[in-house]
């Protein structure tokens, strides 16, 4: 099957170099595409670069290495010219595609479902991030969210990261929930249970991700600093608007270590050394109701102790993760509990979490999606 994948992705080698590129979203898209290719499909890519670029960023993207043929369209100051170029590119790329997959509803490919229907192609939307008009106060954002919703409802199949996504769809649309996946190479990296768990006599809690309040980072910092245990550390890596707050917290509390934005190899080494992996996403925020914290998948594959707030669908993971509410008090208590649990049932937890993670390998997730789609175009 020939597949056209529409997304906003850049060569993975640039994850740490492009400030406004979401490394997590970039990895998600590449792993999704790679799993499609491993199923015997031919994948080509239309990538819209709508985020701001530093000097030399455009050239770096164009020269970067990718495993798939890709056509880039860069945002211009003139929106009409941008949309015209996007439409022309889509028309060219659609010619030999059997299935068109879009990562999120983006104005750059608003015309995609209609173009697919007109040319007899099937369309699928991976809706990883969306908040409805009711989530916004400003009229312009409400209008844009409404336009996105009309676009979302035009796709034949929708893959959501949360069951909550179904509330935005029509009865005619086909829906499947797929929280994300685990890369096989990542899974194999943690194939041996470490001989010792607590590093250098200190319990290491680790968070890696976007440094924003939406991820609950502010709650986690306050909860950790309220802990009296001096034999623990909180490692934080990533980038975002809260970077200076993280630096300030590390200067105030020596147990907090800001690692900056890590290269992937360094990220793996830090995960290997950590004792407890944390997902503090603030579930009091509406924008978190329709997505899934993809880091949970990677955390499971490590076999480590996991602490997370109660995301939508958390019940499926209750035997593998320690959950708490999105409050400072509950998170503080959960951090203490995790610290006490590190050496308890370590081998059992390692085996249990890794066995559970096997069903979330990207290859298995894509097989499940392809089987669900069915039909002559698979």
What would the pLDDT profile of 340-354 be if each residue is shown by its tens digit? Answer: 888 777 888 999 999
199 secondary structure, DSSP code: B
* Spatial CA neighbour of 218 closest among 333, 309, 338, 327: 327
Distance CA 326, CA 308 (A): 9
Entry pTM: 0.87
Q: How far is CA 46 from the centre of its chain?
A: 19
User: What class is the 2-181+361-373 domain?
Assistant: alpha beta
Tell me if residue 309 falls in helix, strand or coil. Answer: strand
CA within 13 Å, CB half, 3 = 25
Of all residues in the chain, what percent are helix, strand and coil, respectively (each to 5)?
Answer: 45, 20, 35
Tell me if residue 116 falls in helix, strand or coil. Answer: helix
Domain pair 2-181+361-373 / 184-358, same fold: yes
* Spatial CA neighbour of 148 closest among 118, 109, 121: 109
What would the pLDDT profile of 243-275 be if each residue is shown by its tens digit? Answer: 999 999 999 999 999 999 998 899 999 999 999
What share of the chain in percent tops pLDDT 90? 77
The alpha helices in 201-260, defined as continuous H runs, are: 217-225, 243-252
Task: Give the chain's length.
Answer: 378
Per-residue pLDDT, 376: 39
Give me the architecture of the 184-358 domain, per CATH: 3-Layer(aba) Sandwich (3.40)
Q: Cβ contacts of residue 368 below 8 Å, gap of 6+?
A: 176, 178
Q: Cβ contacts of residue 353 below 8 Å, gap of 6+?
A: 300, 301, 302, 303, 304, 306, 320
Whether 195 and 350 have beta carbons less than 8 Å apart is answered as no
What would the pLDDT profile of 106-139 be if each residue is shown by its tens digit? Answer: 999 999 999 999 999 999 999 998 888 988 889 9
Distance CA 219, CA 214 (A): 10
Domains of the chain: which residue ranges?
2-181+361-373, 184-358
pLDDT in 10s for each residue of the chain, 378 residues? 999 999 999 999 998 888 888 888 999 999 999 999 999 999 999 999 999 999 999 999 999 999 999 999 999 999 999 999 999 999 999 999 999 999 999 999 999 999 999 999 999 999 998 888 988 889 999 999 999 999 999 999 999 998 889 999 999 999 999 988 999 999 999 998 876 554 556 899 999 999 999 999 999 999 999 988 889 999 999 999 999 999 999 999 999 999 999 988 999 999 999 999 999 999 998 878 878 898 999 999 999 999 999 998 899 999 999 999 999 999 999 999 888 888 777 888 999 999 999 999 999 999 999 889 874 343
Whether 361 and 182 have beta carbons less than 8 Å apart is answered as yes
Per-residue pLDDT, 170: 95
Q: Cβ contacts of residue 115 below 8 Å, gap of 6+?
A: 90, 91, 94, 121
Map tokens 């990883």 to a residue: 128
């Amino acid at each position: 099957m020939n597949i056209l994948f529409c997304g906003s992705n850049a060569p993975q080698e640039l994850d740490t170099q492009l400030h406004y590129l979401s490394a997590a979203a970039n990895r998600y898209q590449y792993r999704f595409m790679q799993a499609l290719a491993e199923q015997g499909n031919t994948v080509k890519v239309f990538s819209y670069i709508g985020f701001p670029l530093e000097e030399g960023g455009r050239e770096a993207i164009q020269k970067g290495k990718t495993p798939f043929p890709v056509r880039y369209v860069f945002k211009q100051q003139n929106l009409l010219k941008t949309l015209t170029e996007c439409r022309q590119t889509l028309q060219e790329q659609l010619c030999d595609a059997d299935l068109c997959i879009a990562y999120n509803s983006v104005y750059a490919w608003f015309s995609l479902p209609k173009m697919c229907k007109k040319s007899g192609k099937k369309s699928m939307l991976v809706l990883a991030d969306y908040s409805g008009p009711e989530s916004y106060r400003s009229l312009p954002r409400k209008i844009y969210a409404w336009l996105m919703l009309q676009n979302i409802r035009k796709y034949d199949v929708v893959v959501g990261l949360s069951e909550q996504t179904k509330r935005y769809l029509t009865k005619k649309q086909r829906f499947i929930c797929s929280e994300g996946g685990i890369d096989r190479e990542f899974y194999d990296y943690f194939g041996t249970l470490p001989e010792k768990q607590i590093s250098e006599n200190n319990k290491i809690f680790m968070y890696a991700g976007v440094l924003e309040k939406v991820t609950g980072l502010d709650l986690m910092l306050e909860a950790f600093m309220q802990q009296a245990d001096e034999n623990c550390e909180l490692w934080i890596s990533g980038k975002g608007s809260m970077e200076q707050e993280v630096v300030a917290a590390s200067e105030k509390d020596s147990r907090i270590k800001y690692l900056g934005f890590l290269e992937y190899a360094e990220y793996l080494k830090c995960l290997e050394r950590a004792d407890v992996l944390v997902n503090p996403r603030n579930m009091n925020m509406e924008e978190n109701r329709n997505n899934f914290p993809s880091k949970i998948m990677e955390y499971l594959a490590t076999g480590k102790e996991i602490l997370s707030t109660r995301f939508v669908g958390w019940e499926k993971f209750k035997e593998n993760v320690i959950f708490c509410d999105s409050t400072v008090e509950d998170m503080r208590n959960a951090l203490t509990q995790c610290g006490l649990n590190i050496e308890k049932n370590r081998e059992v937890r390692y085996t249990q979490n890794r066995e559970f993670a096997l069903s979330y390998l990207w290859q298995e997730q894509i097989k499940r999606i392809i089987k669900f789609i069915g039909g002559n175009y698979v």
